């Protein structure tokens, strides 16, 4: 096929070729750029439709048993054993529930096990959900609760979550219907209450909570596959949310105080062994009751039967996060420089220094990345041309680079 700009007529639309557009000529016919683009759009839409209608039923979906799932999670997520255990069980039950429904209709109905994760920033909430989706090879999307509005208001509709899930599933509806949706910052749509007077969002927060209810429980939604407003001409796809697993997360500031207060009032008058409270780790007692006190409406709490917490990461955990996970930050830098033929090492006190700074930042493991980037930027710039074969990052070097970057920031 000749591909050149020529004067001729397109056999499809009858337009003359022009100098600024491509024109394709075959043996007996020619086609202009516009028609090729149009044909491409039709093919893409057809393929999406085909994928959506495909009868792929996830029969080959392999259930991973909770213990095995937790062990695999351990490779990526440090600490947070309680949360990993609870989630592994919930996820296993969720997918068992789906597969058993296919087998027999008269079995006991297993309740859907949507999960709420409570924990400070940078403790691994998103990481756990992301890793589960990856391990199970399921479509996964993250939605931020704060961008949602009640239907009819400017902002994103709650249903737009499903557009993203559909995209993550390559437009295969059956696959999307078994995916995982992660709703971040669920605490920010709490209604104002005595317990959290700082939250300014009041009525609208409750409205958004209301609009999430149906989605969480299971409903059939008409979803615009390309997203809402930009493509008004697209065909809608029907998505059933009954088998979608929802994992919500939030920092829920001062949750420990809410729990402590409830525990104190609850234990009065009892003196059994069970009521000895471990004050150091009050979060372990979190329950749906506390979420209600915080400002989630009871109906929403009811649709998240599994509530678990993530601990704040201590010095030891932060250090392990630097070096242990499969894609640990330190491993990434070592690998990057290895590709340039350079052996990179970090001395132990340099790692301790990074951890100390991360603790000062109070951003959990999230802080590690920004600190190490400040320390490594100059080196990553210079090392490949330096001719060096070995580089060690000492505490002195780390400190110098980090402090000078802070200084630059202040300038
Ligand atoms: N327990 C952990 N094990 C390993 N890495 C972790 C852990 N917690 C956090 N990280 C690292 O820190 C980064 C931020 O973590 P993540 O996004 O999971 O935080 P989060 O709890 O969702 O915080 P936020 O509330 O701010 O969304 C991740 O990319 C990950 O590399
Ligand atoms: Mg997160």
117 lines ligand 1 (CB under 6 A): no
What φ, ψ does residue 287 adopt, rounded to 5°? -145, 170
Q: For residues 393 and 48, what is the distance between their CA atoms, to the nearest angstrom?
A: 50
* Ligand 1 pocket test target in 127, 142, 145 with most atoms within 8 Å of CB: 127
Q: What structural domains does the chain harbor? A: 2-53 (no CATH), 66-309 (3.40.50.300), 315-410 (1.10.8.60)
Q: For residues 51 and 49, what is the distance between their CA atoms, to the nearest angstrom?
A: 5
> Which residue carries 């939250």 as its tokens?
199
Cα-based torsion angle of the residue sequence 286, 250, 65, 54 in order, rounded to the nearest 10 degrees = 140
User: What's the CA-to-centroid distance between 125 and ligand 1, angstroms?
Assistant: 6
What pLDDT is stored for residue 193 in this prediction?
A: 54
Can you point out the beta strands (E) in 217-302?
220-223, 237-240, 245-250
Q: Are strands 23-25 and 30-32 parallel, antiparallel or unpaired?
A: antiparallel
Which residue's CA is minimally distant from atom 18 of ligand 1? Answer: 124
Neighbours of ion ligand 2 (CB under 5 A): 125-126
pLDDT average per 10 residues of sequence, the chain (411 residues): 60 87 89 93 83 56 87 94 92 83 63 88 91 89 80 65 90 90 90 55 69 87 74 77 92 88 65 60 86 91 92 92 93 95 94 94 89 93 90 94 74 49
User: What's the CA-to-centroid distance between 27 and ligand 2, angstroms?
Assistant: 57
pTM above 0.75, yes or no: yes
Which residue's CA is minimally distant from atom 25 of ligand 1? Answer: 121
User: What's the CA-to-centroid distance between 141 and ligand 2, angstroms?
Assistant: 12
What pLDDT is stored for residue 224 in this prediction?
A: 81
Q: 115 pairs with which residues across the strands?
A: 247, 306
| Local structure of 172: helix, strand or coil | coil
What pLDDT is stored for residue 353 in this prediction?
A: 95
> Which residue carries 């027999």 as its tokens?
104
Atom of ligand 1 nearest to the CA of 310: 21
Which residue's CA is minimally distant from atom 7 of ligand 1? Answer: 124
What pLDDT is stored for residue 262 in this prediction?
A: 87
Nearest to 333, CA basis, from 384, 288, 299: 384
């Amino acid at each position: 096929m000749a591909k050149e700009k020529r004067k001729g007529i397109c056999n499809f639309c009858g337009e003359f070729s022009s100098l600024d557009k491509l024109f394709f000529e075959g043996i007996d016919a020619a086609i202009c750029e516009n028609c090729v683009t149009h044909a491409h759009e039709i093919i893409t839409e057809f393929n999406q439709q085909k994928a959506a209608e495909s009868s792929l039923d996830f029969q080959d979906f392999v259930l991973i048993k909770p213990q095995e799932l937790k062990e695999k999670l351990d490779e990526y997520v440090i600490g947070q054993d309680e949360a990993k255990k609870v989630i592994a069980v919930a996820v296993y039950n969720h997918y068992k529930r789906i597969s058993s429904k296919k087998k027999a209709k008269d079995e006991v109905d297993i309740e859907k096990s949507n999960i709420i994760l409570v924990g400070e920033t940078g403790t691994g909430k998103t990481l756990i959900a992301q890793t589960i989706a990856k391990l199970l090879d399921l479509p996964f999307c993250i939605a931020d609760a704060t961008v949602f509005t009640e239907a009819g208001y400017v902002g994103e509709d709650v249903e737009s979550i499903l557009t993203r899930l559909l995209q993550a599933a390559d437009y295969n509806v059956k696959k999307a219907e078994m995916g995982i949706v992660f709703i971040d910052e669920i605490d920010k749509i709490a209604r104002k209450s005595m317990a959290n007077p700082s939250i300014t969002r009041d009525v609208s927060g409750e409205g958004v909570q209301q609009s999430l209810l149906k989605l969480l429980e299971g409903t059939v939604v008409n979803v615009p596959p390309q997203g809402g407003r930009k493509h008004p001409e697209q065909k809608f796809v029907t998505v059933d949310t009954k088998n979608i697993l929802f994992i919500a997360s939030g920092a829920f500031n001062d949750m420990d105080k809410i729990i402590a207060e409830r525990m104190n009032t609850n234990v009065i008058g009892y003196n059994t062994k069970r009521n000895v409270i471990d004050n150091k780790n009050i979060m372990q007692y979190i329950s749906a009751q506390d979420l209600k006190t915080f400002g989630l409406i009871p109906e929403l709490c009811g649709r998240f039967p599994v509530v678990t917490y993530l601990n704040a990461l201590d010095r030891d955990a932060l250090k392990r996060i630097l070096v242990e996970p499969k894609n640990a930050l330190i491993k990434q830098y070592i690998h990057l420089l290895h590709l340039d033929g350079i052996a990179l090492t970090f001395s132990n006190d340099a790692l301790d220094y990074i951890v100390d700074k991360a603790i000062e930042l109070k951003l959990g493991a999230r802080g590690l990345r920004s600190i190490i980037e400040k320390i490594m930027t100059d080196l990553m710039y210079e090392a490949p041309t330096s001719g060096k074969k070995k580089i060690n990052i000492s505490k002195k070097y780390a400190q110098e680079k980090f402090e000078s970057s802070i200084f630059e920031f202040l300038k």
